[in-house]
A and B are shown apart, each in its own frame.
Chain A
Amino acid sequence: MSAITRDEVAHLARLSRLALTDDELDHYATQLDAIIESVAKVAEVAAEDVPPSSHALPLTNVFRADEVSPCLTPEQALSGAPAVEDDRFRVPRILGEEA
Chain B
Amino acid sequence: MTMLYDEALDRFEPVLGLETHVELGTRSKMFCGCKTTFGAPPNTQVCPTCLAFPGALPVANAKAIESTIRIGLALNCSIAEWCRFARKNYFYPDMPKNYQISQYDEPLCYDGYIDVEVNGETVRIEIERVHLEEDTGKSTHVGGATGRIHGADYSIVDYNRAGIPLVEIVTKPIPGTDRLAPEVAKAYVTELREIMRSLGVSDVRMEEGSLRCDVNVSLMPRGSSEWGTRTETKNVNSLRSVERAVRSEIERQAGVLAEGGKIVQETRHFHEDTGTTTSGRSKEEAQDYRYFPEPDLVPIAPDPAWVAELKAALPELPSVRRKRLQAEWGLSDLDMQAMHNADAFDLVEATVAAGAPAADARKWWMGELARRANETGTSLAELPITPAQIARVTELVASGALNDKLAREVLEGVLAGEGTPDEVVEKRGLQIVNDEGELSAIIDQVLADNADAADKVRSGKIAAAGALVGGVMRASKGKADAARARQLILEKLGVSE
Decide whether A and B assemble into one complex. yes
Stretch at the interface among B153-161, B361-369, B380-388: B153-161
User: What's the Cα separation between A68 and B34 when bound, in Å?
Assistant: 6
- Secondary structure of the A contact surface, majority rule: loop
For A91, the chain B residues whose CB sits under 8 A away are 93, 154-157
The answer for the CA separation of A56 and B8 in the assembled complex, in Å, is 56
Once the chains are docked, how many angstroms separate the CA of A96 from the CA of B149? 8
Which A residue sits closest to B153, measured CB to CB? Answer: A93
A interface residues (Cβ-Cβ under 8 A, vs B): 11, 15-17, 54-55, 57, 59-74, 77-78, 85-99
Given A55-B299, A87-B42, A91-B155: A66 touches B27 (CB 8 Å cut-off):
yes
Is the beta-carbon distance between B43 and A95 smaller than 8 angstroms?
A: no
Contact of A93 among B43, B154, B159 (CB under 8 A): B154
Of B35, B47, B93, B284, which one neighbours A99 at CB under 8 angstroms? Answer: B284
**Can you add 19 more A-B contacts, CB < 8 Å, to A71-B35, A78-B43, A88-B43?**
A11-B288, A54-B84, A55-B293, A60-B300, A61-B300, A61-B301, A62-B298, A63-B65, A65-B62, A71-B34, A72-B47, A87-B42, A89-B159, A93-B153, A94-B139, A94-B141, A94-B149, A95-B152, A99-B284
Cβ contacts under 8 Å, B434 to chain A: none
CA A38 to CA B156, docked complex, whole Å: 42
B residues in contact with A61, CB < 8 Å: 298, 300-302
B binding-site residues for A, Cβ under 8 Å: 26-28, 32-35, 41-48, 51, 59-65, 82, 84, 89, 91-93, 96, 139-142, 149-159, 282, 284-285, 288, 290, 292-293, 295, 297-302
Residues of B within 8 A of A89 (CB): 43, 93, 96, 156-157, 159
Give 9 CB contacts A-B under 8 Å: A54-B84, A54-B292, A61-B298, A61-B300, A66-B61, A77-B159, A89-B93, A89-B156, A90-B154
- B151 & A98 in contact (Cβ 8 Å cutoff): yes
Check A71 against B45 for contact (C-beta < 8 Å).
yes
Q: How far is the CB of A19 from chain B (nearest CB, A)?
A: 13
Smallest CB separation, B13 vs chain A (Å): 32
